Structure 1
Amino acid sequence: MRPMLAAGESLSFTLSQELTVIVLCALTALISHLALAVFNDGVRPFLLDFIRGGSTRGATAAVSFGLSAGFIFGLGAPMALSTGVLNPWLLFLPTDVLGLLAPRRWLAPLLGAGWGAIVVFALGGANSAAHELPVDFLTAMQEMSTPILFLFTLFPVLAIVRQFGRVHGAVAGVIELVLVVMTMKLWPKMFAGALAMAVGVLMLIGFAVAQDVRRRREERAAAATAPGTSAATPAAAETSGADDPMASLFSANALRLRRHLPLFMLLGAGVCLLAQMHVFGGGEATSFLIAKGDHSGAAQVDFYRVFGFVPLIATTALASGAYGIAGFTLVYPIGYLLPSPYLAVVCGALVFAAEVLALSAIGRALGRLPSVRDSSEHLRGAISDTIELAILFGSLMAANTMGGGLGILIVGGLYLLNEAMGRKVVRMAAAPAAVLVGGVLLNVLYWLDLFTPIKS
């Protein structure tokens, strides 16, 4: 297995990597066609209606495309071209759409394999051609790495502020800042935000668990003081749970997923194997870390993200009967760290098996821990906000690198125009897309002798 390409070099893959991408895209398209799993969290709730026959395949595919197109072309493609690392928006969002769109089961894996082939064979050519242009906007996009990596470190602080207030957030912010400075001073080879993020996430979970424990104690105390309720409460709760139609639906959907356990194990093996090859990053910050060869840092970042997505994926899977293509995303950090592709295949399969089998138990646990469940929502919102700001700031830095004030005018103007038009492109993808369009436009101006590229 060859070492990972550095950011900015040509995208090229070994035969084993090409085959892995193509086969995995075929598999994810087939699973999407069967409505067993999709990558886009926003599409998953629509699948219950499709599974029950209340929505057509074409209508569901149209929803998937509408929710995914901006991320594919505005985030997935620019991130892959600028880092030299593949990502889930580029690979799995298109196979969501292709799988749902395919009218026949046999056609879905063929369409998915075709997309995988386009990615591994055509992306490298586009990358090489872009680097030969007078205005090399792909190299300029590497300016995005610093704001993404460092601002991403703050997402636990934002989540703590939103859930537990300014005092808790201020304490967490000071602690994270101290840890970042300490890490940069004492362990310069380590990703500076790794320890700070770990402590921030642990603080958030600790606050949430403490709040849930305190609430349960208060409820028990109130129940104990209420006459005639303590003995009847457990039985009433059990009866209520047995008659709950949502509990029945969750149970049926969990059983549906368990019936396809071998297919999910194959999916987990494939995703973990791709992560182990170090040509794939599960997130924005992760892609840059993988590109720099910092696999342990990438594993830490993606591991912390898991806490924000387990409740969302578990509850939507139980409610819709469709799982996530990457599961709880635990296979990402595991794959980055494993030394052998064979171990990756085995571990990925076992992790997915454990996740699918544990869905019902996770759903029940989340029902008893409302503050922990709320924490995941605050984490996801904080991740989105920090990444949006980091990508916007990084995109303006890239615009300045490739075109100075004119570059900032074009890229910033396109971003603001998108905002004024009601966000035709989702905010997170709008800025990278503006850099690509701005880079093309600056090259056109150069060929018209109206612009002189800035010397690096």
Structure 2
Amino acid sequence: MTVSAAAGLALSLPQQLTVVALCALTAFVAHLALAVFNDGVRPFLLDFVQGRSTRAATTAVAFGLSAGFVFGLGAPMALASGVLNPWLLFLPTDVLGILAPKKWLGPLLGAGWGAVVVFGLGGANELAHDLPVDFLTAMREMSTPILYLFTLFPVLAVTRQFGRWRGAVVGVVELALVVLTSKLWPGMFPGALAMAVGVLLLIGFAVAKDVRRKGTREAPTAAADDPMASLFSAGAARLRRHLPLFMLLGAGICVLAQLKVFGGGEATSFLIAKGQYAEAAQVDFYRAFGFVPLIATTALASGAYGIAGFTLAYPIGYLMPNPLLAAVAGAAVFAVEVLALASIGRVLGRLPSVRDSSEQLRAAIGEALGLAILFGSLMAAHAMGGGLGILICGGLYLLNEAMGRPVVRMAAAPTAVIVGGVLLNLLYWLDLFTPLARVKG
């Protein structure tokens, strides 16, 4: 089954309206400093809300932390897979919402960005496919390394937290499950079951370690004596006051996922493009374990939630049969998440190993995807230009490293493929390069 990039990113009118409306809503929420998608921006919102930082300064922080991911990861991944993603949609609305000086201007700017994505990305896709060197079709080569190397993130997390022997055991188990799945259920993404078992083993090791420690540790500090308790309480109360707005946001996120034109992650985007919605739901569900503690603690400390919440609305949306049920489910999920934030924070305070597992999962996801994206980008470079393509794209990546990474590492390789594709087309027009056979979709 081919990725939907071949379809030219064509969206129906309901899908277009949903994207524009959701971008308007997320920009409005960001303007109110109630939620942002970028986890790195969220801690800065407390100073902004309390008047210790200006809107302009906070916008500069948001732009600096987001721009590389928008143009170096979000746009290339959308063009390669034919599926929208949160970096492309929600990182810009973070910036635009915070930038807007008036409430009415935030959603207007957000809607404008949604329109640019809906209409501009499809046009760019069609234009690129008509070029002599079709680098977007070549970028589909990224899908295989991303899907398969992403499967290994639980192995990396277990190894780092619990040692090489347990990591080796989890690695062998995952490999066996991938082989068995490929043999017994060829229509299923082979890494889905392996990831499930790997994440469950990691959580099991962490919970067991915390249980063993429980008898020897001192009783947790009372909330009244906890210096963070009042701050966390204020953050939770601020979010609860805006519960209806968060329920509307949850409904919108879930509906977008249900429309099957949106993927919550790099691997998920390619699974959605292939129509493997159940596997995509599994991948995003496991991925959420790495981000719940981070999102919960930063939300409680800053009083600003994540645009996608704990990201559980993604997998739920993929599995919903229609947009109406998706809207109801998304609203309910966000309501439960916001109301349970304080309790989740207290539970995490008593489970240090589980918190450590979350950090290890995030680091492992980044490491696995970093290698997968680099390897896939070099495969794409070879597909569109052979050795010369690898020289140009690999050289651009290495130059970025030597210059201190002006483009963040995760986004550098896809950016290099796009720039390399443009350069190869220029060389063709100068009669200095003969394109390889067009990559077949």
TM bucket (normalised to shorter chain) is over 0.9
Say whether residues 1:450 and 2:439 are aligned partners: no
AA aligned to 1:92 is F
The answer on 1:274 being equivalent to 2:256 is: yes
For 1:184 and 1:12, locate their aligned partners in 2 and report how far apart those are by CA, in whole Å. Answer: 32
Give the aligned residue type for 1:291. Answer: A
Distance in 1 separating the partners of 2:253 and 2:298: 21
Structure 1 SS opposite 2:433: coil
Q: Could you tell me which amino acid in structure 2 is paired with residue 444 of structure 1?
A: L
Question: In 2, distance between residues paired with 1:371 and 1:243?
Answer: 23
- In 1, the alpha carbon distance for the partners of 2:79 and 2:323 equals 25
* C-alpha distance after superposition, 1:36-71 (max 9, x if no partner): 000000000111111100000010000000000000
RMSD after superposition: 1.1
1:111 to 109, 112, 127: 109
Cα displacement (A) at 1:217: 1.9
Instruction: Please give the alpha-carbon distance, in whole angstroms, between the structure 1 residues aligned to 2:81 and 2:143.
Output: 9
Secondary structure (helix, strand or coil) at the match of 1:114 reads: helix
Give the whole-Å Cα distance in 2 for the aligned partners of 1:361 and 1:105.
32
Aligned runs of 1:304-343 on 2, under 5 Å? 304-343=286-325
| Alignment partner of 2:285 out of 275, 296, 303 | 303
Do the aligned residues in 1 keep the contact of 2:30 with 2:98 (CA within 8 Å)? yes
Name the SS of the counterpart of 1:358 in structure 2.
Answer: helix
Separation (CA, whole Å) in 1 of partners of 2:225 and 2:282: 42
Task: Please give the alpha-carbon distance, in whole angstroms, between the structure 1 residues aligned to 2:167 and 2:228.
Answer: 36
Provide the C-alpha distance between the structure 1 equivalents of 2:146 and 2:11, rounded to a whole number of angstroms: 26
Deviation at 1:11, TM superposition (A): 1.1
Instruction: Please name the residue that 2:191 is paired with.
Output: 193
The residue identity in structure 1 corresponding to 2:367 is D
CA distance in 1, matches of 2:96, 2:426: 34
Is the contact made by 1:7 and 1:292 (CA closer than 8 Å) also made in structure 2? no
Query: How big is each residue's C-alpha offset from its partner over 1:316-372, in whole Å with a ceiling of 9 and x where there is no partner?
Result: 000111000000000000000110110000000000000000000000000000000
- Tell me, yes or no, if the aligned pair for 1:5 and 1:11 is still in contact at 8 Å: no
Contact 1:50 1:57 in 2 (8 A): yes
Q: Residue 126 of structure 1 aligns with which residue?
A: 124
Q: Percent identity?
A: 78
Partner Cα distance (1:215, 1:362) in 2: 20
| 1:344 is the counterpart of 2:326 | yes
TM-superposed deviation, 1:122: 1.1
- Alignment gaps of 5+ in structure 2: none
How far apart, CA to CA, are the structure 1 residues paired with 2:231 and 2:81?
43
Superimposed CA distance per residue, residues 372-421 of structure 1 (whole angstroms, 9 cap, x where no aligned partner): 01000000000000000000000000000000000000000000000000
Alignment of 1:245 with 2:245, yes or no, is: no
2:178 is the alignment partner of 1:180: yes
Structure 1 letter corresponding to 2:140: Q
C-alpha distance 195-5 of structure 1, shift in aligned 2 (>3 A): closer
Whether 1:72 aligns to 2:54 is no
Q: Which residue pairs with 1:360 in the alignment? A: 342
Is the Cα–Cα contact under 8 Å of residues 145 and 394 in structure 1 kept in the other structure? yes
Q: Once the 2 structures are TM-superposed, how far is the Cα of residue 6 of structure 1 from its aligned partner?
A: 1.9
Q: Deviations over 1:86-130 (max 9, x none)?
A: 000000000000000001111000000000011101111110000
SS at match of 1:7: helix
What TM-score does the superposition give when structure 1 sets the normalisation length? 0.95
- Once the two structures are TM-superposed, the CA of residue 244 in structure 1 deviates from its matched residue by 2.4
Match of 1:208 among 206, 209, 229: 206
The residue number in structure 2 matching 1:433 is 415
Partner of 1:159: 157
Where 2:215 maps in the other structure, the secondary structure is: helix
Residue pair 2:3, 2:270 contacting (<8 A) in 1 also:
no
Cross-structure match for 1:401: 383
Q: Deviations over 1:108-156 (max 9, x none)?
A: 0000000001110111111000000000000000000000000000000
For the residue of structure 2 that corresponds to 1:126, the secondary structure is: helix
Q: Residues of 2 paired with 1:272 and 1:5: CA distance?
A: 22
What's 1:259 paired with? 241
**Unaligned 5+ residue runs, structure 1?**
224-232
Aligned to 1:371: 353
User: 3-state DSSP class of the match of 1:148?
Assistant: helix
**Alpha carbons 1:272, 1:348 under 8 Å: kept:** yes
Q: List per-residue Cα deviations over 1:287-316 (Å, max 9, x = no partner).
A: 000000100110000000010000000000
Count of residue correspondences: 437
The Cα shift of 1:82 comes to 1.1
Counterpart of 2:397 in structure 1 is 415
Is the 1:57–1:100 contact (alpha carbons within 8 Å) kept by the matching residues of 2? Answer: yes
CA displacement at 1:12 relative to structure 2: 1.2
Aligned match of 2:23: 25
Q: Name the residue aligned to 2:33.
A: 35
- One-letter amino acid of the counterpart of residue 324, structure 1: G
> 1:8 touches 1:138 (CA, 8 Å); kept in 2?
no
- Displacement of 1:5 in angstroms is 7.2
Query: 3-state DSSP class of the match of 1:308?
Result: coil
Q: Check whether the contact 1:150–1:193 (CA below 8 A) recurs between aligned residues.
A: yes
Letter in 2 for 1:371: S
The structural deviation recorded for 1:8 is 2.8
Deviations 1:212-235 (A, max 9, x none): 00011233xxx7xxxxxxxxx68x
Distance 1:8 1:56 in 2: 45
Is the contact between residue 33 and residue 105 of structure 1 (CA under 8 Å) also seen in structure 2?
yes
Q: Return the offset for 1:9.
A: 2.3
SS in 2 for 1:53: coil
Q: 1: distance between equivalents of 2:349 and 2:191?
A: 32
